[in-house]
Amino acid sequence: MLDKDSPIPLYIQFKEYLLDRIERGELEPDQRLPSEREFCDRFDVSRITVRQALGELARDGLICSVPGKGTFVTRKQEAKFHPLTSFSEQMRAQGQTPSSQVLNQAVIAASQRLARELQIPPRAEVVLIERLRFADGEPCVLQTVYLPAELCPGILEYDFVSRSLYQTLRDAYGLVPVEADNSFEARLAERREEEYLQLPHPSAVLVMRQTSYLEDGRPIEYARSIYPPNQRFYCLHGPLVSGKEELILSSI
């Protein structure tokens, strides 16, 4: 179950194991998890390993601890609707100037979760693009996007500081996202998120996870967007306008 000879740290393996069980529904919402000691005995790992994995799952909003009662799987709020508008278009419509800073971009091997979300084999190549988005120079969302590399070869040759990802997918690859699954959660910000979003410590953030689909039902994108608490959020329903950007949750 956990491979102690693997170069992947044990806490990540343990986290992925629990995450897989949560995603598959084997660990249901409100279900109590075993204690740290029970996990240690069952998997022959240290308490530090268990705590680190559980801590990351808690920061991701997937589990929560209730004093005196234990640790439980949280309920996930989901919605399915048509993406309607873009971050950049919303900013311009309200008289603000959008901009982006590319923090990281690479081709990586798909984790178990990415493989499920994008419906590709584990370890298949995935394009990662991480950007910090601004409105009038103020940071308002930290976003990481994952794309199946097979569908958009060479996409990292484009400059996404100013270029729309969805417009690039449409114009260069003929790929038009038309629908998305979304989930939302609130949690405490990680230090890195606080630094990029210029938040005091500690701060809460809103996390939106989005899987976007082509008209034939194939996933084209999995995205995680981190929003600061001082934003006002709203969603508008309607068809995706060709050439618009990927974000459907606007923050002002």
Quick one: tokens of 187? 């949690």
Q: What does the alpha-carbon distance between residue 29 and residue 36 come to, in Å, rounded to a whole number? A: 19
On the question of pLDDT at 248 being above 80, the answer is no
On the question of pLDDT at 212 being above 80, the answer is yes
What is the chain's mean pLDDT, rounded? 82
Whole-number pLDDT of residue 33:
92
Topology given in CATH for the domain delimited by 10-75: Arc Repressor Mutant, subunit A (1.10.10)
On the question of pLDDT at 188 being above 90, the answer is no
On the question of pLDDT at 203 being above 70, the answer is yes
Place of tokens 């799952």: 57
Handedness of CA 178, 241, 102, 182 (dihedral sign): negative
On the question of pLDDT at 242 being above 60, the answer is no
Whole-number pLDDT of residue 118:
96
Whole-number pLDDT of residue 204:
86
For residue range 17-55, what is the model confidence (pLDDT) as tens digits?
Answer: 898 888 888 888 889 999 999 999 999 999 999 999 998
For residue range 79-129, what is the model confidence (pLDDT) as tens digits?
Answer: 444 443 556 666 677 788 888 999 999 999 998 889 999 999 999 999 999
- Predicted TM-score (pTM) of this structure: 0.65
Element housing 132 (H / E)? strand 125-135
Q: What is the CATH number of domain 78-251?
A: 3.40.1410.10
Task: DSSP letter for 92, please.
Answer: H
Least-confidence region, from 82-91, 214-223, 226-235: 82-91
Quick one: tokens of 52? 């680190």
Q: What does the alpha-carbon distance between residue 172 and residue 138 come to, in Å, rounded to a whole number? A: 30
Give the residue from 129, 122, 121, 124 showing the smallest Cα distance to 155.
129
3-state secondary structure 9-58: CHHHHHHHHHHHHHHHCCCCCCCECCCHHHHHHHHCCCHHHHHHHHHHHH
When pLDDT is averaged across residues 221-245 and rounded to a whole number, the result is: 60
Whole-number pLDDT of residue 155:
96
Confidence bin at 234 (pLDDT 50/70/90): very low
When pLDDT is averaged across residues 117-146 and rounded to a whole number, the result is: 93
**10-75 and 78-251 share one CATH topology?**
no
Whole-number pLDDT of residue 243:
38
Provide the residue ranges of all domains of the chain, joining segments of one domain with +.
10-75, 78-251
Confidence bin at 185 (pLDDT 50/70/90): confident
When pLDDT is averaged across residues 57-67 and rounded to a whole number, the result is: 81
